[in-house]
Every structure is written in C-alpha cells, then in structure tokens.
Structure 1
Amino acid sequence: MANLFKRINRKEDPSVYEKKDSEMVRSLTTKDFLALGVGTIVSTAIFTLPGIVAAHNAGPAVTISFLLAAVVAGLVALSYAEMASAMPFAGSAYSWINVVLGEFWGWVAGWALLAEYFIAVSFVAAGLSANFRGLIAPLGINFPTYLANPISSKGGLVDICTVAIILIVMFLITRGDKQTSKVENVLVILKVLAVLVFIVVGATAIHLGNYVPFIPAHHVNADGTNFGGFSGIYAGVSVIFLSYIGFDSIAANSAEAKDPQKTMPRGIIGSLVIAVTLFVAVSLVLVGMFKYTNYANNAEPVGWALRQAGHPLVASGVQIIAVVGMFTALIGMMMAGSRLIYSFGRDGMLPKFLGKVDKARRLPLNAIITITVISVLIGALLTFNFLSQLISAGTLIAFMFVSLGVYPLRKREGKDISVPGFKEPLYPIMPALGFLASLWVFWGLDNDAKLYALVWFIIGMIIYFAYGMKHRADSQKAETKDNEDF
C-alpha cells in the first residue's frame, strides 16, 4: 500500500516534458492565441445560449448569469495563466498536475478534459451540420433522412455532413500550426464582425420595457428547473459556463508558443476579456429587442430577432458567417484535444504511438487522427444531447485541480520550475476562490451530468490501474536509461 501511495503521487520532472516537447515548432504568437481562444469561446453558444437561458432560467437577468460565469472563468484563467507561463508543456492541466501534484492526479485532470474535447468536437460539428443543412434547404438541397441523422435516430444511418466537417478540420490542422492559424485568424475576424453587426443593428430595435422586471419572480419550470430570482440566475450560470471553457485550448498548445512566458498569459486572459464583452453585449441587446418569452424553444434567437425587427438580409448574413465561424471552435478543440492525447502517449499512459511527433511536419499526427476517428463516431453515429453538460463537468474538475495546483507550484518556482512571466495576484486568496467558484458551478449541474462524469471517471480509473500505471513505469525506466547512456 505504501508503494502504491508513493507511485500515484510521484511527480514528473519538468525537464522531461521540456525535452520531449522540443520536437514541436514554437511558432504561435499572442495574436494566434487570441484568435484560437476567441474562436473557441465565441462559438455557436453566443448565437443561441443568451436566448435559451433568458427564456428558461433567468429572463433579462441572463446578463448577470453571463457575468457570474465570467467571474468564475476569470478566477481560473488567472491560475491557468501562471501555470502556462511557468510550464509551457503540451497537455495543459494534465501535464501541470503531473508535475506539481503527481501522476494519478494528473491523469484524473487530463481524463476529465478528454471528455470535454471528444464530446465538444462532436457536439459543435453536429450543430454546424444542422445549420448548414438549414441554410441550403431553401435552395432545394435536402439530404435523405438516413444521411442527415445518426443511426440512433429514427430512420437515420449516419450524419454525413458531420463526418465531412470533422475531416475538413483534420485536413486543416495537419497542414501545420502556421497555416492553421492563418485560416483561424481570418474566420475569427469574420465571426467577431458578425457579432458586432448584430449588436449595432439590434441596438436600434431595443425597447426598454423588455428589461422590466430585470429579475423575474422565482418559480419552478415544468421540467423541474428553476426560473427567476437568484435560483434562476444560478441555473443559468451552470448552462452558460460551457461557453467560457475554451481558454483551455490555448493552454493545451503551450509547447508551440513563441516566448510562452508572455504569449500564454496574454492569450488566455485577453481572449476571455474579449469573449465576456461580446457575450454580455449580445445578451443585453437580445433581451432588449423582444420579451424573453419569445425565445423559448427557439434554436436561432439571434437570426429570429433580426428578422422580426425588419432586417432579414442582416439576419442571413450573420447566420452564414456564424456557420462558417463554427469551424474556428472545431479547429481550436481538435488542436487542443490532439495535444492532450499526444501527452498521454508521450508519457505511456496510453499507447506510445499516440505520443509520436511526425518528423516532416513536426505535428502529433497519430493523436490528430485518433481524435478525428473518435469524434466522427460520436458525432455521426450517436445522439449526444444528454451528454452536453458532461463537457462542463469534466472541465470544471480540471479547473479545480489547476486552481489548487498553484500552491505547490509557487514553492518550486525559481528552483526546478522557471519563474513565470505572470503571477496570479492576491495569492494565496485567488487560487482558493477559483477552486470554490468552480465547485459552486459544478454543484449546479444537473444530476445526470454528475452521474455521467462519475461513469467516465470510473472508466478512467480502470484504464489507469490496468494499463497506464504499468506502462508509465516502463516509460520512466526507459527515460532513465536513455539519460544514463547520454
């Protein structure tokens, strides 16, 4: 038992990760990370969640839900910025926690994040597929049912658009980071312009009476969820938090950052500030244009509001750009997810071929192919709406680990870990607040999400104890021998 305890708490030498990740090209700048972060955070959610949460949970106070979720994300982002600046390794929370807390805890944090990426890639790709099919339907182009729906849906076989979309994104990210970042930067600019157009045009149709009462009286919806009062705002936070988790995609690519001590904090904090500003502005304009009850069961509240306000051409333009802009979220998620899978393979926690870097392109191609195949299977063959909150659940678990990880990190900065270019302010209070705030949001998730998170955790434990622990030990022995030979 003593040996087991020692084993699971064994901390990785940060110099090992520095050596292994040196095969990757450090080519990404602050501008690239801002585009990556904004592109991932400001995804389909900004065009849907403000209306959905306003109608089902918070009313006009959806803006408060967005702000509270942003505060929680901001607290964690400060810890992320210090971690990424001190340890610019691939794999973000998995690698960091391996170094500061130990092997087992790193696996738990990484395994939780892996659920986010597998499901989020499939979720966004299927959403993009549905929107694309909706855009081309007026042109008389319709897919047969068996090619438009997964096999688990009645009459469905495979969502062929979802398959094509994921394969296109895979093609983009295998071109190399610089080529990918150029495409990402252009698409992000287009998407932000679409959001700004909605804010400016929609602001001309605001009726102040739609904000009254700003916080509606509390009642319980027919499905058992809370509406109105602080309970409704809190319920909205748990749903909305999914929107802000994209800054982990920046940290996952730390090994490819130029001057990471500066670019990582700027990318993480900067992208979150931009995203929060856009989310709050969109929610204020949307609930000001029409009474929040109009957005109940409305899958496209932004487009609907613009059309009802007499701007059909603007609505079409915004929706077309929004569909194209969804690719930015997929690019960010697939890049980050593949780097996490690469990190598992690099350490022997999963098969070693996943941790190989292609010599010609200097990219983890095996990891990219793996996340592509799994995402295609989930998105094309399975319905997964019931799993959507698992994205938030897994990420929140990782966020709690990162917040707590700042404490042991501080003790090692300037010793075996470099002094970071950014340090979290108001230490030791802020990391504790980040942990408690993440726990608060996690507690607000529905019981199904917590149950699915538990099932995923059990699967992860089986893999760790049956495979990862042994193969990690073998990998460490090989690393020690290589160092001795050198």
Structure 2
Amino acid sequence: MHNFLRREDPAVYQDKDSHLARVLGVKDFLALGVGTIVSTSIFTLPGVVAAQHAGPAVALSFLAAAIVAGLVAFAYAEMAAAMPFAGSAYSWINVVFGEGFGWIAGWALLAEYFIAVAFVASGLSANFRGLVQPLGFNLPKALSNPLGTDGGVIDITAVVIILLVAFLLMRGVSTAARVQNILVVLKVLAVLVFIVVGATALHAENYVPFIPAHHVGADGNQFGGWQGIYAGVSMIFLSYIGFDSIAANSAEAKNPQKTMPRGILGSLAIAVVLFVAVALVLVGMFHYSDYANNAEPVGWALRKSGHGLVASVVQGVAVIGMFTALIGMMLAGSRLVYSFGRDGMLPKWLGQLNQKNLPNHALALITIVAVIIGSLFPFAFLSQLISAGTLIAFMFVSLGIYKLRSREGKDIPEPSFKMPWYPVLPFIAFLGALAVFWGLDIDAKIYALGWFIVGLLVYLFYGMHHSYLNKKEPK
C-alpha cells in the first residue's frame, strides 16, 4: 500500500520538465482553451439536447454544466499556478495524494484524449464529406465509414486529418499555436455570424413554455422539468472539458503564475457565453422538436430560414475550426503520455524528448491509437466515456486543493491565484462533478469501470514496479 501512497517531490517534476520550452502566453492558452471547448459540440449538441431532454430550457442545461465546470476550473487554476507541470491532474495528484491516485486520475484522462481525438476527427470527416458532396466529390463507402459501419472499411479522411495535425505538432508548439490562434478567431467569428443572423429569425412562441412539463419519453429519456434539464447537463458536460488541455501544457507556459489562471478561466468564460447564446437562438428559430435526430442543427436552421449562403460559410469555417480541437486534444494527450514515460509508469521512451525538446514519441503513440479508434471502430457508444473519465479526474483535483493548501509556501510555491471561499468551494466543486457523473447513463459508468480495472492492472503489473519513485526512499 505504501507504493500506492508514495508522493513525488514537486522539485523533481520542476527539473524534469525544465527542458520543455516555455513559449506559450495568455493569448495562446485562450486560443487553445476556446479552440478545444468550442468544438464540434456547439454546432450539434444544443439542438440534440433541446429535442431529447430540455426543450427551450437547454440554455439552463448549458448554464448548469458551466457552473460545475467553472467551480472545477477554479481548482485547476490554483493547481496549475502552483505546479505548472506537464500532465495536469496526473502530476498534481501524484504530488498531493500519491502515485497510485495520480495514476488513476491520469488513466481516466487518457480515455478522454484517446476517444476525444478520434471523436472529433470522425466528426470533422463527416462534416467535410458533407461539404464537398455538392461539388460531386464522393468517396466510396469503404473509405468513408469505420469498419463494419454501412459498408465501411476505414474512414480515410479521419486518418489524413489526424496525421496532418500530428505533423503540425511535431514541428513545435509555437508553430501549432500560431495556426491555432488564426483558426480560433475564424471559428468564433462563424459562431457570432450564426448568432447575429439567427437572431433575425426568432419566434417568441418557440420559447413557450420555457421549461416544458416533465414526462418520460417512449425511449426512456427524461424530458422537461428539472429532470430534463439535469439529463441535459450530463450530456452537455463533455463540451466544457477542454480546459484540461490548457493545464496539460502548463510546463510550456511563460510566467505560469499569471498565464494559467487567465487561460483556464478566460477560455471557459468565453465558451459559456457562446454556448448559451447559440442554444437560445437555435430554439428561438424553430420549435425544439424540429431538431430531433438532426446532426447539424445550426446549418439546417440557417438554410430553413432562407440563409443558405451563410449556412455554407458557417459550416465551412466550422470544419476548419474543428482542427483547433484536434490540436488542443493531441497536444494535451501527448504531454500526458510523456509524463507517464517521464515517471516510468509506462515505457521510458515515451518520456524522452527529441533534439528540439519535443515529446514526439508520446505524440506518435497518441496519433497511432487515435487513427485506429477513429478510422476503424464505430465508437458512438463510447462518447460518454469522455465525460466519465474527465469527471473522475475533476473530483480528484477538487479534493486535492485541501492537500495543496497545507504545502503552499513550503515545498510548493505560493500561487498568485487561489480558489475563492476555501474550504467550502472545493467541496462544492467535488459534489458538482459527482452529480454530473451520477447523471451519466449506465453504459458510461460500466465502460468507465472497465477502463479503471484495466488501468489498475497496468499499474499493479507494470507501473508500480518500473516507477522512478522505486529508486528513492518512500516518503
């Protein structure tokens, strides 16, 4: 048991990560966060959740999810300012709770990155193919869909997209950040265009009743009332998890004491405003029931209201903008895998840097796994595992503030940002994340348990014996 509770010395991480170049500023982290959070989901989820669960009150689901994410983001901001290490929650929990708990938090996040990269690449592929179809460019089904889905063998577009992003990241963080910043500005402009144009086609009657009466649908879904809003929160929450991608890159931040809190909290604030505005405009344009089983509600609503050209422009930019989410997820995922290799929890070559001080071995692993998942396997049933894994890490980080406070100003530097209303707020953040986790469907919880068991076996049979902490006296 003492192996499980062994804590890493923060000075060791400081030294190990010192080779990573500190080149990212506040605007880079804002772009990284907004690029990852304001992703595929802003163009799809508001309509889906309105039709399935909340009706016009979908905006309240987005707001409630944002409040929980915001509470956790406060904890993230303090942790990242105090301990700007690669690997985010994995490294922090390793320092404050011990190696075994750190591994569980990191393993949970790894599920998020593997699946989210594949998820976004597949969504980007579908949207891209939809865009070029009117031009007469059609790929055969064998090269359009994952193995076993509608005659598919491999989603070749998803493969090419993931490889393109990997190539960009292998050239360095500065290059990726420049591309990211430009694409994020374009994507935010596309969202704003939809909000402004859509606002000219609102119908007041579509907002009444704002919270429909509660009932259980034929498919077993909770609809209407506070129950429907709550069901929507758990479905929506994966929209907001992108701020973890900022924290995972904190070892490459200039002046992390100021950069990290501003990047994490600022990107979440921008995203919340955009999500709530899109949700309110969408349900005002057409009755929420019109969005049932609609994979592209934003484009559909614009075309249906006579704005076909705007719809094409917005969808075109949305496809380009999805690259930003891939850049953020692959960047963060590779830094997490690097930190596993750095600590000996996975083979040490994953923790090696190349001559440009980039963890490209770790990036190669993320790329290969994402290509396999995204191009060969139908994974829609795994989408909630993205939320499940991240929520487990969020709970650890929220409670970790209690352990962190007692060490700030001692072996851990006093951070410039601290979570407000301590000791109450960290516990409320923990309860919020637990409540969202509880609202996930039973399949997601079962898959999360399966992934957790696999991770525990990897730790017991490999990580625990190869960990670099084994070479030192336990604390």
1:445 to 423, 440, 448: 440
Counterpart CA distance in 2 for 1:407 and 1:478 is 28
Distance 1:154 1:287, change over 3 A: closer
Q: Which residue of 2 aligns with 1:476?
A: 469
In the alignment, structure 1 residue 177 sits paired with structure 2 residue 177 = no
Q: 1: distance between equivalents of 2:361 and 2:185? A: 30
Q: What CA distance in whole angstroms lies between the structure 1 residues aligned with 2:448 and 2:471?
A: 34
Number of the residue aligned with 1:56: 52
Deviation (angstroms), 1:150: 1.4
Return the alpha-carbon distance in structure 2 between the equivalents of residues 386 and 282 of structure 1. 26
Does residue 1:422 correspond to 2:417, yes or no? yes
Amino acid aligned to 1:167: L
4+ residue runs of structure 1 moved beyond 2 angstroms? 475-480
1:398 is paired with a residue whose SS is helix
Pick the aligned partner of 1:23 from 19, 22, 27. 19
Aligned to 1:285: 281
Match of 1:412 in 2: 407
Q: Within the alignment, does 1:454 sit opposite 2:449 as a pair?
A: yes
Amino acid at match of 1:81: A
Residue from 271, 274, 287 that aligns with 2:270: 274
Shift of 1:154: 4.0
The Cα shift of 1:310 comes to 1.0
How far 1:103 sits from its partner (Å)?
Answer: 0.4
Task: Give the Å deviation of 1:152.
Answer: 2.6
Displacement after TM superposition at 1:7 (Å): 1.4
Question: CA-to-partner distance for each residue in 1:349-394, whole Å, 9 max, x for gaps?
Answer: 00000000112x2110000000000000000110000000000000
Give me the whole-angstrom Cα distance separating, in 2, the residues matched to 1:421 and 1:376: 40
Q: Distance in 1 between matches of 2:148 and 2:20?
A: 40
- Summarize the Cα distance change of 1:185–1:437 in structure 2 as closer, same or farther, 3 Å threshold: same
Q: 1:41 aligns with which of 37, 40, 43?
A: 37
- Corresponding residue for 1:483? none
Equivalent residue pairs, number:
473
Superposition pairs of residues 304-453 of structure 1, within 5 angstroms: 304-359=300-355, 361-453=356-448
What CA distance in whole angstroms lies between the structure 1 residues aligned with 2:187 and 2:93? Answer: 34
Instruction: Answer whether contact 2:388 2:437 (CA < 8 A) is retained.
Output: yes
Matches of 2:431 and 2:237 in 1, distance apart?
15
Range moving further from structure 2, 154-163 or 176-185:
154-163
Match in the other structure for 2:460: 465
Equivalent position of 2:120 in the other structure: 124
Percent sequence identity over aligned pairs: 70
Structure-2 residue corresponding to 1:210: 206
- Identify the range of structure 1 (222-231 vs 456-465) with the bigger mean alpha-carbon deviation: 222-231
2:42 and 2:338 map into 1 onto residues whose CA distance is: 30
* Residue pairs, 1:296-307, within 5 angstroms: 296-307=292-303
Kept in 1, the 8 Å contact 2:8–2:469? The answer is no
CA deviation digits over 1:312-334, x for unaligned, max 9? 10000000000000000000000
Q: Which amino acid aligns with 2:10?
A: P
Backbone CA RMSD of aligned residues:
0.8
1:66 aligns with 2:62: yes
| TM-score of the pair, normalised by structure 1 | 0.97
Tell me if 1:234 matches 2:227.
no
SS in 2 for 1:330: helix
Q: Give me the TM-score of the superposition, normalised by structure 2.
A: 0.99
Q: What is the CA deviation profile of residues 105-141 of structure 1, one whole-angstrom value per residue up to 9, with x for unaligned ones?
A: 0000000000000000000000000010111111111
Query: In 2, Cα distance between the equivalents of 1:145 and 1:306?
Result: 28
Q: In the TM superposition, what is the alpha-carbon distance from 1:478 to its structure 2 partner?
A: 5.1
The residue number in structure 1 matching 2:97 is 101
1:46-94 alpha-carbon deviations (Å, 9 max, x no partner) = 0111100000100000000000000000000000000000000000000
Letter in 1 for 2:23: S
**Over residues 28-55 of structure 1, what are the superposed CA-to-partner deviations in whole Å (9 max), with x where a residue is unaligned?**
0000000000000000100111100000
Q: Distance in 2 between matches of 1:460 and 1:404?
A: 21
SS of equivalent residue, structure 1 residue 22: helix
Between the aligned partners of 2:469 and 2:239, the Cα distance in structure 1 is 38
- The whole-number CA distance in structure 2 between the counterparts of 1:95 and 1:398 is 11
| Displacement of 1:222 | 1.9
Paired position in structure 2 for 1:219: 215
Distance apart, 1:476 and its partner CA: 3.1
How far does residue 436 in structure 1 lie from its aligned partner after superposition? 0.2
Once the two structures are superposed, residues 399-430 of structure 1 have per-residue CA deviations (whole angstroms, 9 ceiling, x without a partner) of: 00000000010000000000001000000001
Q: Counterpart of 1:256 in structure 2: which amino acid?
A: E
What is the rounded CA distance, in whole Å, between the counterparts of 2:209 and 2:188 in structure 1? 30
Partner of 1:484: none
Tell me if the contact between 2:6 and 2:469 (Cα under 8 Å) persists in the aligned partners.
no
Q: Which amino acid aligns with 1:199?
A: I
Q: Is 1:165 the equivalent of 2:158?
A: no
